[in-house]
Amino acid sequence: MAVSILPLLPVAAQFAKDDEVQLKQDEPLSFNNSTYREGHKGEIFTVLAYRSDTRKLYLLATDSVGKPIALSVADSAVMIKRKDPEVIAAKAFEALRAGKLDQAQRLLEDAGKLEGAQELYTEAAAHIRDLTKAIADYQQGLIQQQREQSEIDRRRKNAAVMDRPNPLNPQDNSNRLRAADARREADEMEQRTKEGLNAAQSQIISELKLFDELAKKELAANNYSVALEITDMLSAISARYLSRNTRFEPSIAEYQRKDLQEKVSLAHDQLAKAKLAISVKKINEARRCIEEGLKSEPGSASLRQL
């Protein structure tokens, strides 16, 4: 998913850990109350901590050999970079493809709260919560199946031992009746376990279908980047948690994805050119690149924001 350029916020009264800040001017960066090096205008850092009493920020930097170090600077020397919902959402979909559902849900919830965020982020976060539960139920079912299999095997083994005539009374078939009962109970346990797993897989498929509807909605809105992100996630989750004969197939077919990916690549190229033009204040050139990019991906949120 493309990264869009967003403005900087005014100096904040308070900063949060992991905020990104940018130096407004050249400014000394300190370590243990002594100047460590000169910071340069435009440098971007991640906030480690903020002391409101001294109005100092502690920033993540690196020393001369590349090791992390905390440097301090006055809060008046920096601007907070506004968080980009598109960037956060891209990380969320990457986490989804890796099966990190909790992380993906949290990132999409964060993205959905930001200015300019697409509504689908909040909707997708809710779907992930339900998908997480469905997957947890399926995994619990697998654990239960393993636990019960030993009991099923034990009952069938006992049934095999009991299923023989009484040598003292050939007319007595009670052993065989008990053996039949043991086999029936084992079969019923096995069937219940299978039904539970099938139900859990069906629930996973139901949640994937809801995601698939989101992908189709974004495709219809010409937001190809997001449609492809969701579709790739569907394929990854399906391969990870569903058996081969129940594998979920996204509505956007493979041949369509190749065509859409070409359009997205063209749009991303124009986005990069537009950013470069903005950096050297060639605004008309940037506008031309944005217009060209929107021809390839008319619904691109990143291009529209830029």
The reply to whether 93 falls in a domain is no
Mean pLDDT of the residues in the chain: 86
Residues 139 and 241 in one domain: yes
Instruction: At 101, list the tokens.
Output: 């559902």
Residues 71 and 140 in one domain: no
Nearest to 239 by CA among 229, 251, 227, 249: 249
The reply to whether 266 falls in a domain is yes
The reply to whether 132 falls in a domain is yes
- pLDDT, one tens digit per residue, over 98-157 is 888 899 999 999 888 877 777 888 888 999 999 999 999 999 988 988 889 999 999 999
Q: What does the pLDDT average to over 247-275?
A: 91
Residues 184 and 292 in one domain: no
The reply to whether 106 falls in a domain is no
The reply to whether 135 falls in a domain is yes
pLDDT at 302 over 70: yes
Last residue of a domain, one of 199, 215, 248: 248
Residues 133 and 45 in one domain: no
Residues 242 and 208 in one domain: yes
Q: Answer with the residue of higher pLDDT: 159 or 167.
A: 159
Q: Answer with the residue of higher pLDDT: 4 or 304.
A: 304
- Domain span including residue 286: 260-305
Q: What does the pLDDT average to over 224-235?
A: 90
Residues 196 and 133 in one domain: yes
pLDDT at 72 over 60: yes
Model confidence, pTM: 0.65
- pLDDT, one tens digit per residue, over 26-66 is 999 999 989 999 999 888 888 899 988 888 999 998 888 88
- pLDDT, one tens digit per residue, over 76-101 is 898 877 777 877 888 888 888 788 88
pLDDT at 2 over 50: no
pLDDT at 261 over 90: yes
Please tell me the predicted confidence (pLDDT) of residue 251: 94
Nearest to 120 by CA among 111, 130, 129, 131: 111
Please tell me the predicted confidence (pLDDT) of residue 30: 93
Q: How many domains does the chain have?
A: 3
Residues 144 and 219 in one domain: yes
Please tell me the predicted confidence (pLDDT) of residue 14: 64
- Cα–Cα distance between 131 and 122 in angstroms, integer? 14
Residues 190 and 277 in one domain: no
Task: Indicate the burial class of 8 (C-beta count within 10 angstroms; 0-12, 13-18, 19 or more).
Answer: middle
Please tell me the predicted confidence (pLDDT) of residue 4: 38
Our measurement of the distance from residue 48's CA atom to the centroid of its chain's CA atoms, rounded to an integer in Å, reads 24
DSSP 66: S
The reply to whether 50 falls in a domain is yes
The reply to whether 109 falls in a domain is no
Question: Any idea which residue has 């029936």 for tokens?
Answer: 184
Q: Report whether 232 contacts 211 (CB < 8 A).
A: no
Residues 69 and 171 in one domain: no
Residues 52 and 126 in one domain: no
The reply to whether 88 falls in a domain is no
Please tell me the predicted confidence (pLDDT) of residue 5: 37
Residues 74 and 132 in one domain: no
Residues 151 and 237 in one domain: yes
Contacts of 23 (CB under 8 A, 6+ apart): 39, 40, 41, 42, 43, 45, 73, 77, 78
Which CATH number is 35's domain given? 2.30.30.30
- pLDDT, one tens digit per residue, over 210-222 is 999 999 999 999 9
Task: Indicate the burial class of 240 (C-beta count within 10 angstroms; 0-12, 13-18, 19 or more).
Answer: exposed
